[in-house]
A and B are shown apart, each in its own frame.
Chain A
Amino acid sequence: GENVEQHPSTLSVQEGDSAVIKCTYSDSASNYFPWYKQELGKRPQLIIDIRSNVGEKKDQRIAVTLNKTAKHFSLHITETQPEDSAVYFCAANGPDSNYQLIWGAGTKLIIKP
């Protein structure tokens, strides 16, 4: 079945710098890759997603890139701000026969003032 690995587990960056979080997946049939942001004690919220028919997607300070050949995708946050501090999860959809999301273990992003 699908397996999603996420790195790093913790990332500390200076306010204003960029942050990059990387994920790999194992199932070549996966075609949907969402990124969720979860603040402490709150629900996961979708911040951006990408489908396998594109290689990059951007939304203001957030971008996601997808390399289908290498089976990895990355989240890029530019000009980081204190409110970007949270745990970020990548995910991939499961095989054709089911509809679950397989999640990475999460990256705790700390923005230093």
Chain B
Amino acid sequence: GAGVSQTPSNKVTEKGKYVELRCDPISGHTALYWYRQSLGQGPEFLIYFQGTGAADDSGLPNDRFFAVRPEGSVSTLKIQRTERGDSAVYLCASSLWGGRDTEAFFGQGTRLTVV
């Protein structure tokens, strides 16, 4: 596709449930990032992939959060035992390569609501 695609656009789940959020980056982009944006805040870094490997997962808040990118393209962010504090917009971004000064293109985000 022309841009970064994220599905679903909205997800409502009950506290304690497991959710998966999907990101389809721009074709050919080797670097992929997950960010979380709470209302009225800037995005907060979660994890960065270079190819298939998680090169930096220092932003994952705890071990309930996990992300994979098995074939170096699509990525899935997985959240176990969801809590109300996990409610936020989860943004995915990709860039052509993982240079520190490379433009990142963002998806529309998945709005996660934990009730």
Question: Interface of A with B (CB < 8 Å)?
Answer: 6, 31-32, 34, 36, 42-46, 49, 51, 89, 91, 93-94, 96, 98-106
Can you list 8 A-B contacts with CB-CB less than 8 angstroms, sorted by A residue number? A98-B55, A99-B33, A99-B55, A100-B56, A101-B33, A103-B43, A104-B42, A106-B41
CB closest residue in chain B, given A96: B100
Q: Is B20 interfacial (CB-CB < 8 Å)?
A: no
A101 neighbours in B (Cβ, 8 Å) = 33, 43, 45, 104
CB closest residue in chain B, given A104: B42
User: Are the CB atoms of A51 and B101 closer together than 8 Å?
Assistant: yes
Question: Interface of B with A (CB < 8 Å)?
Answer: 4, 31, 33, 40-45, 48, 50, 55-56, 58-59, 91, 98-109
A106 neighbours in B (Cβ, 8 Å) = 40-42
Name the prevailing secondary structure of the B interface residues: loop
A31 neighbours in B (Cβ, 8 Å) = 100-101
Ranked nearest first, the 10 interchain pairs of A and B with the lowest CB-CB distance are: A103-B42, A32-B101, A100-B45, A43-B106, A98-B56, A93-B100, A43-B108, A44-B106, A99-B48, A89-B42
Q: Distance in Å from the Cβ of B102 to the closest Cβ of chain A?
A: 8
A102 neighbours in B (Cβ, 8 Å) = 45
Q: Distance in Å from the Cβ of A45 to the closest Cβ of chain B?
A: 7
